A and B are shown apart, each in its own frame.
Chain A
Amino acid sequence: MSVAAKVWALHLGVLAALLAAQVVLPAYHAGNLARIMVLAVYAMGFNIAFGYTGLLSLGHALFFGAGLYGMGMLVALAGWGAGAALVAGIAAGGAMALAVGLLALRTAGVSFMIVTLMFAQAGYLTILYYTPYTRGEEGIVIDRAARVLLGFDLSQDVTRYLAAFALFAAALLVKLALVRSPFGRVMVAMRENEERSRMLGYDPFRIKLAALVLSGIYAGAAGAAYGLLFGYVGASFASIQYSILPLLYVLLGGAGTVLGPFLGAALMFYLIDLASGITTAHLLVVGVALLVLVLFAPKGILGALRDRGLKWLP
């Protein structure tokens, strides 16, 4: 089997399994998977910036929040329909990433980390500043009546799952195509050796900005989707915790792999869920599990697999 065939077989296989899971799995796990898939889209976006292009941003919650609030404010305050608001949310995420990127990409490394962190903090505080509209940290409910997309009621379990799946599948396939495309290879080149890439004629600034904007589009899509699918828009989603989360998912699952973010998201979710079932000190279990994972698979699970033989894993 050629590499391309193996890659497509694997990824299409995963998608098929996820589609089947809706029918096969009990309602509880199906519901969890819907959440995990949306968060995985967020993490995949983060991976585009971090895992492939080497941009460690600590401010991605700003883009997730832009999508969430872009959608939420238009639906709740301006009465927009779900479809249009979703598009607006996606655009908001991308636009925010563009604005931040134009400024932040003048820095690199740790400075870039802090600049993105600061922009995200400013965004969080701005949401609180406009509490009269956003209800700040308490948040607002998105009316069930407004959560109807193309005639489908997103508050129904099956529809919700399929919508999350559709988003995830689209995001996964686009990312797969991206990383296997010439642009994807240039992104990796930027990460590996920026100076050499520049010498070869590539403009690092434009490449990194494009990667960041793509990353913001993914994050905005995930944010808008999360609000529409689960009916809540709140400032906690724009807090620093939600900037750390995708980083954690990506590092656990394998930075620079396409399926890594999904694996990491699922793993963290079930780690917390199962730990809560065993003990009231579940944070301890999660912390120890993270340490164990990182000691034995420092490149993440898929990264470790790739190193140990599955070299074709994108």
Chain B
Amino acid sequence: MDFGPFLLLALMEGLVTAAVLALTAVGLALVFGVMRVVNVAHGEFFMLGAVAAWFVTTWIPGPPAVGFIAALVLCPLLVASVAALADTLVLKRLNYDPDATIVATIGLLYILQQAALSLYGPDARPVEAPFTLRVQFPWFGYSGYKLAVIAAAAVILAGVWLLLARTRIGLVMRATQIDRETARAFGINVDRVYAGVFALGAGLAAVAAVLIVPIQQAHYLMGHDPLLLSFIVVIIGGLGSLRGTLVAALLIGLSDGVISVFFSPTLAKILATLFVALVLVFRPQGLMGRRTA
């Protein structure tokens, strides 16, 4: 294949990665930004979304699209409630102490992984895409569903932006992020906001997983990579900046595919990793974060 189409293919693949990564990372950015806690179990919420999608699509009869739409609606809600429960039962009691939260979320990680292993099993299982459509470009065929994923992620992200920028809930969340004590003084129930943010973050990760699961498979260990990648994206983008998160997701999603066009893939991954580190070394606030003193 000629270089041009080859690059185009790599870019399109990168867009799909970036789309899913953006959703997961925005979820983490909200939790990190508003609650200031490191949620090591964020990847497991992602995994739960995928595993739940498998259960839903297997149990709901009829054409795959029906099961998929149901999963798209139900799974994020399910995972969000698990997250809200975890927040109320555990994280609140720890008073969101940073170190303790790390240990607690590691514990949560083990629990969720074991639950998936026991109830779902160790196999990687596919979920049928809601539709199969092969889009024929002049140089290669491409999955229509993947293009739909990009579109769906964009729509959901737009929805999240609307929620944060234009609704009262978003206002409350942003206020709590800027100054927790003052927000409390204004009568905002910070505990409930935190539970809601934690739930929303988990729900976004779950929706990303439901979108990606027809392309990848649902596997009980699949939360590991999304955790790492979304963390990197959030920090590179800059804490407190959702736009930064989006830009970083795009950059990292696209570059992963493109760099490996030029270098041996493992070497490309090494270079990409070092590049991320150096970006932060020379610009610690990330691409769009505010520099803290």
- Chain A interface residues (CB < 8 Å from chain B): 103-104, 106-111, 113-115, 117-119, 121-122, 125-126, 128-129, 240, 244, 247-248, 251-252, 255, 281-284, 286-291, 293-295, 298-299
Contact = CB atoms under 8 A, between A and B. Distances in A.
A271 to B, nearest CB: 10
Given A111-B285, A126-B270, A251-B100, 11 more contacts: A111-B280, A117-B228, A125-B269, A125-B270, A281-B114, A284-B115, A289-B107, A290-B106, A290-B107, A294-B100, A295-B93
Contact of B103 (A106, A115, A251): A251
Interface string B92-129: 01100101101110111111111101100000000000
Contact of B277 (A110, A115, A288, A290): A115
A111 B104 contact: no
B241 to A, nearest CB: 13
A299 B101 CA distance: 11
A290 B236 CA distance: 30
A284 B114 contact: yes
A298 B94 contact: yes
B228 A107 contact: no
Contacts of B107: 286-291, 294
Q: Interface size class for chain B? A: 35 or more
Interface of B: 32, 38, 40, 90, 93-94, 97, 99-100, 102-104, 106-115, 117-118, 228, 231-232, 235-236, 239, 266-267, 269-270, 273-274, 276-278, 280-282, 284-286, 292
B239 to A, nearest CB: 7
Given A288-B107, A291-B90, A294-B104, A125 B266 contact: yes
Given A125-B269, A287-B107, A287-B114, A106 B228 contact: no
Given A107-B284, A283-B114, A114 B231 contact: yes
B267 A294 contact: no
A287 B99 CA distance: 16
Given A118-B273, A125-B273, A298-B99, A290 B280 contact: no
Given A122-B270, A291-B104, A111 B111 contact: no
A286 B108 CA distance: 10
Nearest to B86: A291
Contacts of A240: 228
A247 B32 CA distance: 19
Contacts of B292: 109
Contact of B274 (A109, A118, A129, A288): A118
Contacts of B106: 244, 248, 287, 290
A103 B275 CA distance: 12
B226 to A, nearest CB: 13
Given A115-B277, A118-B232, A290-B107, A295 B94 contact: yes
Contacts of A110: 32, 38, 235, 239
A295 B104 CA distance: 8
Nearest to B271: A122
B110 A251 contact: no
A289 B114 CA distance: 14
A103 B278 contact: yes
B115 A106 contact: no
Nearest to A119: B277
B281 A115 contact: yes
Nearest to B41: A287
Given A118-B273, A251-B102, A104 B111 contact: no
Nearest to B94: A298
23 contacts: A103-B278, A104-B277, A110-B38, A114-B276, A115-B280, A118-B277, A122-B270, A244-B40, A248-B106, A282-B114, A283-B111, A283-B113, A283-B117, A286-B110, A287-B107, A287-B109, A287-B111, A290-B106, A290-B107, A294-B100, A295-B104, A298-B94, A298-B97
A129 B266 contact: yes
B49 to A, nearest CB: 19
Question: Which of B97, B117, B232, B276 has most A Cβ within 10 Å?
Answer: B276
Given A118-B273, A284-B110, A284-B114, A103 B281 contact: yes
A294 B103 contact: yes
Contacts of A119: 274, 277
A255 B99 contact: yes
A248 B267 CA distance: 31
Nearest to A290: B107
Question: Which of B100, B232, B285 has most A Cβ within 10 Å?
Answer: B100
Nearest to B239: A110
Nearest to B99: A251
A126 B270 CA distance: 7
A295 B86 CA distance: 13
Contacts of B40: 244
Given A104-B281, A111-B280, A298-B97, A287 B108 contact: yes
Contacts of A125: 266, 269-270, 273
Question: Which of B97, B104, B228, B281 has most A Cβ within 10 Å?
Answer: B281
Contacts of A290: 103-104, 106-107, 110
Contacts of B239: 110
A252 B114 contact: no
